[in-house]
Amino acid sequence: MTATLPDDVWNRLDPAAGALPRRTRLRLAVTGFALLGALGVGAGLWFAGAIVPRLEATPGFDAQYVRPDGTLEQPFGRFAPPSRRMRHTLYLHNGGSDPVELTGIGADAPGLRVVRVALGDTHLTGNRWSTGGAEFKPGDTYQLRPDEQLTVELDYDVTDCDLVSAGQPGVPVRLRRFFGEQTVLVYPPNVVIEPGGWHATEFPDPRAVGWQRYLAEAACGRLPKA
């Protein structure tokens, strides 16, 4: 059996019953548009590097012995390293659309102690100039502009060869932002050690080690003979 409602009951039913009031619907619509706008602005700021700077290490690797007299020498399978001080060259690029203010680069790590940081050649797309490897001391700042690449020289004393990790640690880069201090990690390419040299790689390779492991092998006379 199917029950039916009398006509007078149907006539008394409000067709708008259960619907949200017009003012509430307007508020929800405005809130939805505001959220979409905020998401769009946030995405734009993210890709511009305004929230998290788009700093990256561009491909390339270089390492040199720093002799006691300050001169440099490439480590090509030496059995008698001239020192345990090594220079690692980092190629730092600002991939965002906003400038970033650098306040510090690098940090001590197991088996490694930072003894000098210098800013080497810098260039923009289509332009190039040299800063002469000016030392970057505590308290100094440098504004890295959009699409600018900065060559950073990091000198390390290898204090314990066996403590240096073979993984891929990031190089900390400290920044001054509009909301305070911030540290981001930049990851240089891994290195495949070869007799008489090396090659940098961005791809998984069972032979590859982190850049810092190469410094340790060179400083401790463990490079394969050329």
Distance CA 26, CA 32 (A): 10
Listed residue (203, 156, 216, 202) closest to 56, CA to CA: 202
Which percentage of the chain shows pLDDT scores above 70?
A: 73
Residue type at position 66: V
pLDDT category, 11, cuts 50, 70, 90? low
Least confident of 25-34, 40-49, 199-208: 40-49
Q: What are phi and psi of 119, to 5 degrees?
A: -100, 120
Q: Within 13 Å and on the Cβ side, how many CA atoms surround 101?
A: 9
pLDDT, one tens digit per residue, over 84-105 is 999 999 999 999 999 999 999 9
Residue 68 pLDDT exceeds 70: yes
Residue 130 pLDDT exceeds 80: no
Predicted local distance difference test score (pLDDT) of residue 179: 87
pLDDT mean over 105-130: 76
The one-character DSSP state at 162 is G
pLDDT mean over 23-37: 61
Least confident of 40-54, 128-142, 208-222: 40-54
Rounded to a whole number of angstroms, the distance between the first and last alpha carbons of the chain is 97
Predicted local distance difference test score (pLDDT) of residue 48: 44
Listed residue (119, 125, 145) closest to 49, CA to CA: 145
Residue 72 pLDDT exceeds 80: yes
- pTM of the entire predicted model: 0.74
